[in-house]
Structure 1
């Protein structure tokens, strides 16, 4: 392709009306991924009640996070080779296939496997959406369209828990996956019709080996947490073998990334202090963030007896918390050019919120839980975008894409590991507290703690003892999150602050030295 043709294919050539049409298709694809992160939580208690396997509840989320995180950097490079539209549509197709199969799952193992397939597509939906926007909208005009993406995330944050509860109480939990089909078809049609853009192929060498090694390493660690905590024991030979495999795969990953022409995670960026500290914070915050998102609905349904729909409504204070602080911190950052205070505030608020959540009891009134949930959301809101902005501001423009994807990579990898840890804690501590409640023995009769819905129908006094055990186990989950947030708070104190670059690029020269 000639230089003139490449210039014509550069970002910014689409008129406003066509951009809006393209945005509608891209936003529908983003909605698939955003909705999936919030719709599953309120349905999980009912899912494990029907399919069994409370000890594997966290894997329904972890499998999706693991594959989507590892796949995210690869989708962008593949789209550079073969074009944005066809690869974006391929990601939608994989996501929809995983959704159909997840809805047809007959046991918890099948659901976990199909959620992993769904995650492969989900990783492409987000990264490619932003790549397409970068192709069709000039940088100086992108701010005009940010509200559309804010609306997508806002809609999914509110609608996800409500839809999850509605489908679970109504036609059945399988529809939380099948609802993706009409949204995905709309996105495919709109992008096919409106997304007419030249394919400017950029030469890349895709780091498949690096992606494989990081998935293998994290999978071994997640299996160690699951099997060692619930079956083998922490120091059993099989568990230690998994831990050794994790260390070996991690070392190999680092070696491969040091030598790869285009690594999935460039090691040279870790010489940048803001990049290293910011991603350390992202990882630690990710470890803690999913504890409230996944296990608070379990408490609301199993202990307080809420239906999935009502528990979805009960999570709205957390959504309000996220909105209130993320919008406020973003405006203050734009006004002052400062960002360091926000991750510190976020970690401090999150620390208080998780401690409060660890004190809930069987008879804690909902208004108290709502206040705790609001603070939990507020802590997340302070941290979600501020650290990403700091990282973007600290790297050269040529590294902007990989730095942004790395920030997402560390937060989601932390979330995957944290979810597995919290799931192992819930399973092991529930068994412990059940034994304690029944004098060192397991509950009498046919008590199935995996069936969250059935707990409400247990006879007295068995029901009261099981509810106390369940509440104590969930308290332990929130307590387990506290050390990670303390570590995140300490790490945030070391985040170097440089002025945010303006439109003219001030601050970028300082960033290069960070």
Structure 2
């Protein structure tokens, strides 16, 4: 039905422009879907949607991995090595804060609009960060990037998982209902939240601190350190895809999750034992970590969405990502504090003043001129040992957290049925809409 806005309002919509609005009763409100945007579409359309959403994911992940490889160089050039955790964490702090907001707004307005807005904010924040002349400017602009980045992967995952009946209608609207608290009473949702907190913690810690470990302890270049992230990132991508296919074929996600947490704990534990450069061990241990990480990503998303009603899928998706980013933000900050404290403690026996210790922390490769050759070599040896000890602690903590996540997944994430009762009906409706669209489309 056409309205004076030029948009079509679905007949089941509680909002009818230019007409009397029907207020739902309490019983209707209790069962009314929260802007259900599920839409079954043809395979060609699905491929197009997934490619578009994948490009958005690529944009967000490139920001994380490229900075991870160059974080030590950027921090050193800005004289802010002790603040490197904030350079990385500022983005995730604001990203985490705005993630739930994106999830809620996407249920009220068009998800396409929210996604485009997020990309725009991310672009201008990235441009400003590239022109930063000080550590403070970089931290502020990275935080601004996070405002947009909070919606990139979250909204993309919502589009992939539910579709969007009003994807292109900015002015189309639905009545807004407060989120139901019962989703937080679900053992599966709580288990997913706990395990995703650990996932975010360890994912960002290993992405940002493994290259720093190689540079500060082994003296590797930024290029070599970044290249040594490939075993994790490529394996993670491969097994994230494979685990999603396994869940699709078998209808079970529990085994993938348990395997992932167990293997990831072993991988991080082995990384903590690296005492000397060994390319074989480095690659092998990282392959284990990537395999484990990949098996905890897609299955957890499928599980948490299957554990709630369809109307709550957007809420639990954004909540999952919120908790994951929260864990990553805290992990970066706490790990940076652990490393800095280890370095400070190691320098106390050398009689350095606070300003000298701060110089070492801010520019570990630029203190030679201040201390002289002989003293510098002594301090450098102490620094290498301190950094190695600090990195070992954060990797051991990560392995322990993965073990906790394994236990949580075992007891709190039972297997549930993935198929819904209305799937067949929605597929039939989607097929009918596609056929009607083809009939209306003039043939060339």
Tell me if both proteins adopt one fold, taking TM over 0.5 as the criterion: yes
Compute the displacement of 1:46 (Å): 0.5
Q: CA deviation at 1:462?
A: 4.0
Structure 1, 13-22 or 41-50: larger mean CA deviation: 13-22
Distance 1:109 1:202 in 2: 41
Partner of residue 392, structure 1? 305
Is 1:45 matched with 2:48?
no
Give the distance between the partners of 2:97 and 2:113, measured in 1 at CA.
20
Aligned to 1:364: 277
Larger Rg: 2
Change (3 A) 1:202 1:58: same
The answer to whether the 8 Å contact 1:66/1:116 transfers is yes
Q: Residue deviations 1:154-207, cap 9 Å, x none?
A: xxxxxxxxxxxxxxxxxxxxxxxxxxxxxxxxxxxxxxxxx99333533466xx
Count, aligned residues: 390
- Are residues 412 and 467 of structure 1, via their aligned partners in 2, closer, same or farther at CA, if it must alter by over 3 Å? same
Distance 1:134 1:335 in 2: 17
User: Structure 1: how far apart are the matches of 2:73 and 2:417?
Assistant: 46
Q: Residue 396 of structure 1: CA displacement?
A: 0.9
CA shift at 1:83, angstroms? 4.0
Tell me the CA shift for residue 337 of structure 1.
2.1
Unaligned ranges ≥5, structure 2: 14-36, 424-444
Q: What's the CA shift for 1:469? A: 2.0
Question: What is the match of residue 8 of structure 2?
Answer: 5
Rate the CA distance shift 1:60–1:132 in 2: closer, same or farther, 3 A. same
| Pair 505,452 (structure 1): closer, same or farther in 2 beyond 3 Å | farther
With 125-134 and 480-489 compared, the bigger mean Cα shift is at 125-134
Task: Report the equivalent of 1:495.
Answer: 412
Deviations 1:30-50 (A, max 9, x none): 432222122110011011101
| Inter-CA distance 70–202: structure 2 relative to 1 (3 Å threshold) | farther
CA positional deviation for 1:435: 3.7
Task: State the distance in 1 between where 2:170 and 2:325 align.
Answer: 30
How far did residue 348 of structure 1 move? Answer: 1.7
Kindly indicate whether the alpha-carbon contact (under 8 Å) linking 2:103 and 2:314 is maintained by their aligned counterparts in 1. Answer: no
**C-alpha contact (below 8 Å) 1:80/1:202 kept by paired residues:** no
**Equivalence for 1:450:** 362
Question: Is residue 295 of structure 1 aligned with residue 298 of structure 2?
Answer: no
Q: CA 1:373–1:134 in structure 2 vs 1: closer, same or farther (change >3 Å)?
A: closer
Deviations 1:34-81 (A, max 9, x none): 221221100110111011233321122222112112212323443555
Q: Tell me the residue number matched to 2:392.
A: 475
Q: Give the one of 173, 178, 191 matched to 1:262.
A: 178
| Cα displacement (A) at 1:134 | 6.9
Unaligned 5+ runs, structure 1 = 139-194, 206-260, 507-514
> C-alpha distance in 2, partners of 1:375/1:474?
18
- 5 Å matches for 1:429-468? 429-435=342-348, 438=350, 448-454=360-366, 460-468=377-385
Between 450-459 and 385-394, report the one with greater CA deviation. 450-459
2:315 is aligned with 1:402: yes
- Cα drift, residue 115 of structure 1: 0.9
Question: What TM-score do you get using the length of structure 2 for normalisation?
Answer: 0.76
Secondary structure of the structure 2 residue equivalent to 1:335:
helix
Change (3 A) 1:327 1:399: same
Counterpart among 113, 116, 123 of residue 143 in structure 2: 116
Q: Per-residue displacement from partner, 1:122-156 (whole Å, max 9, x unpaired)? A: 11223333455678778xxxxxxxxxxxxxxxxxx
- What do residues 288-332 of structure 1 show as CA deviations (whole Å, max 9, x unaligned)? 332211111101122222222221111111123313432333233
**Counterpart Cα distance in 2 of 1:14 and 1:384:** 25
Q: Distance in 2 between matches of 1:352 and 1:13?
A: 40
Q: Are 2:35 and 1:32 equivalent residues in the alignment?
A: no
Residue 439 of structure 2: aligned partner:
none
TM-score by length of structure 1 reads 0.67
| Contact 2:190–2:412 (Cα < 8 Å) also in 1 | no
Partner of 2:432: none
Q: Which residue, 172, 182, 189 being the options, matches 1:201?
A: 172
**Do the aligned partners of residues 390 and 13 (structure 1) sit closer, same or farther apart at CA in structure 2, a change above 3 Å counting?**
closer
RMSD: 3.6
How many Å apart are 1:354 and its aligned residue? 1.9
Deviation at 1:336, TM superposition (A): 2.5
**Which one of 99, 103, 110 corresponds to residue 130 of structure 2?**
103
Give, in whole Å, the separation in 2 of the partners of 1:494 and 1:303. Answer: 39
Q: Secondary structure at the match of 1:197?
A: coil
- Stretch deviating more after TM superposition (387-396 or 13-22): 13-22
The equivalent position to 1:418 in structure 2, one of 331, 336, 350, is 331
Q: Measure the CA separation in 1 of the matches of 2:156 and 2:258.
A: 30
Would you say the 8 A contact 1:358–1:476 is kept in 2?
Answer: yes
Q: How far off its partner does 1:479 sit?
A: 2.2
CA distance in 2, matches of 1:326, 1:12: 24
Q: Deviations over 1:398-423 (max 9, x none)?
A: 11111111111111111111111111
More displaced 10-residue stretch of structure 1: 282-291 or 375-384: 282-291
Counterparts of 1:379 and 1:100, CA distance in 2: 34
- Tell me the distance in 2 between the aligned counterparts of 1:432 and 1:344: 38
- Structure 1, residues 347-405: CA drift from partner, whole Å, max 9, x if none? 222222222122222x3322212222211112211211212211111111111111111
Separation (CA, whole Å) in 2 of partners of 1:272 and 1:93 = 36
- Find the counterpart in structure 2 of residue 308 from structure 1: 222
Task: Determine the structure 2 residue equivalent to 1:212.
Answer: none
